A and B are shown apart, each in its own frame.
Chain A
């Protein structure tokens, strides 16, 4: 059974800092991996999707990398801003009916 882990559960950084959020998964036979953002009381918004054949994806100040063989992904946020404060979840797709397995998320707080 696929398990997705995100550690730590919470992170607080000062504004302007570059930071890395980690995600690990137990079964490397994934179809793709996705990073989501969740604001308090809201649903999830997709940030980046990395296909299993890709190594990284970039969108603005966000860069996600994937190392399938070691079961790891990282989300890099450059020059963090208070508006980046949210919970960041990673999810892996094993290909069976596009079923996603989610990590529990990392709650990020960026202090002004």
Chain B
């Protein structure tokens, strides 16, 4: 069945290293969301794309985070350089074109630990 996939599922890295997380939205979906979940802050929207164009990345620290959609089947979230406070679970979600508002399908997440 159609699902959002994310890789890697787990990542442990050292402070200062570059981290790239990947998301494959459900085929045919044209909206992609990146969220970060921590115990302290809960779930926060980092960036949002529609038809591969960024619509809202106001939740993303611009100095170290970047989000792109090289093509319709791949979304990436990059952190460079990574810091311990970036440790969290990062979720990608996709939505269909013309879907009702907020019809978002979530991937399983990437658990990032920065030492």
Contact = CB atoms under 8 A, between A and B. Distances in A.
Interface of A: 31-32, 34, 41-46, 49, 89, 91, 93, 95-100, 102-105
Nearest to A51: B101
A102 B36 CA distance: 11
A93 B102 contact: yes
Given A31-B101, A32-B101, A45 B106 contact: yes
Nearest to A92: B102
A43 B56 contact: no
Given A97-B48, A99-B45, 13 more contacts: A32-B101, A42-B108, A43-B109, A44-B93, A89-B42, A89-B43, A96-B56, A98-B102, A99-B48, A100-B45, A102-B43, A103-B42, A104-B42
A33 to B, nearest CB: 9
Given A97-B56, A99-B56, A46 B104 contact: yes
Nearest to B42: A104
B4 interface: yes
Interface of B: 4, 31, 42-45, 48, 55-56, 91, 93, 95, 100-109
Nearest to B39: A104
A104 B61 CA distance: 21
A16 B28 CA distance: 41
B2 to A, nearest CB: 14
Contacts of A96: 56
Top 6 nearest A-B pairs (CB, nearest first) are A43-B106, A104-B42, A102-B43, A44-B106, A97-B56, A43-B108
Nearest to A34: B102
Given A41-B108, A100-B45, A49 B56 contact: no
A10 to B, nearest CB: 12
